[in-house]
Amino acid sequence: MAVAERPTTWLEDITEVIGGFEPVALQCVLAELRRLALGNGRKSRAARVALELAEEFSRVPCGGARTDEEIMSAALTMNATVATADRDLARSLGSRKVRVVRLRSGRVALL
């Protein structure tokens, strides 16, 4: 959603920062985006754009845990880098030595 709120060349930037990658989306994250997309505000518009961007991503199923826990589990299991704008999630991921990609001043940064 951050990419929709602050347009950037995110794909090229991420590739520059971490190298080649295969974008994946967790089913529970997509479900959360679908719920957000139902509204009318700025967040809803950003969620709809995020869903459009994720159309080309591979899908990964979730278990029954909270979305942030599913993200953590998938990142650790897949040894994946996570792109997020959620500060709390980024801190939690960082404390477990998971690489995190965030937008800083409209540019992609690896934390």
Q: Do 99 and 82 form a contact (C-beta atoms < 8 A)?
A: yes
Tell me the per-residue pLDDT of 39-83, one tens digit each, with 9 for 90 and over: 999 889 989 988 998 998 999 999 999 999 999 999 999 999 998
User: Structure pTM?
Assistant: 0.82
Query: What Cα–Cα distance (Å) separates residue 60 from each residue in 5, 26, 32, 75, 77?
Result: 25, 5, 14, 11, 12
- The domain 2-110 is placed in CATH, from the list 3.40.50.720, 3.40.47.10, 3.40.50.1010, 3.30.470.20, at 3.40.50.1010
| Domain residue extents for the chain | 2-110
